[in-house]
Amino acid sequence: MAGDTAAVRRLAAVHDRSRQRRAAGVFEALPERLISAAGRHGMVDLSPLITP
């Protein structure tokens, strides 16, 4: 039983961190950063996204 309680606490802590990151906008910025990094390494073609 004590192990179950510790597992629940860890899960709650992970959930709290995820909620805080979501509130801070981390998950919205992450895809943009990944695409940008891939473009710098030539892994994707970003030319359609570049506006003159």
Helices (H), the chain: 2-23, 26-40
Q: Span 13-40, mean pLDDT?
A: 82
φ, ψ for residue 6, nearest 5 deg: -65, -40
Section 18-40 average pLDDT: 81
**Using CA atoms, how far apart are residues 22 and 29, in angstroms rounded to an integer?**
10
**pLDDT confidence tier of residue 52, bands split at 50, 70 and 90:** low
pLDDT of 9 > 80? The answer is yes
Higher pLDDT, 48 or 17: 17
> In the predicted model, is pLDDT for residue 2 greater than 60?
no
Would you list the domain boundaries of the chain? 2-49
Does pLDDT of 40 surpass 70?
A: yes
Determine how many CB atoms are found less than 10 A away from the CB of residue 13: 10
User: How far apart are the two ends of the chain, measured CA to CA in Å?
Assistant: 63
What is the 3-state composition of the chain as percent helix, strand, coil, each rounded to the nearest 5? 75, 0, 25
The reported pTM is 0.42
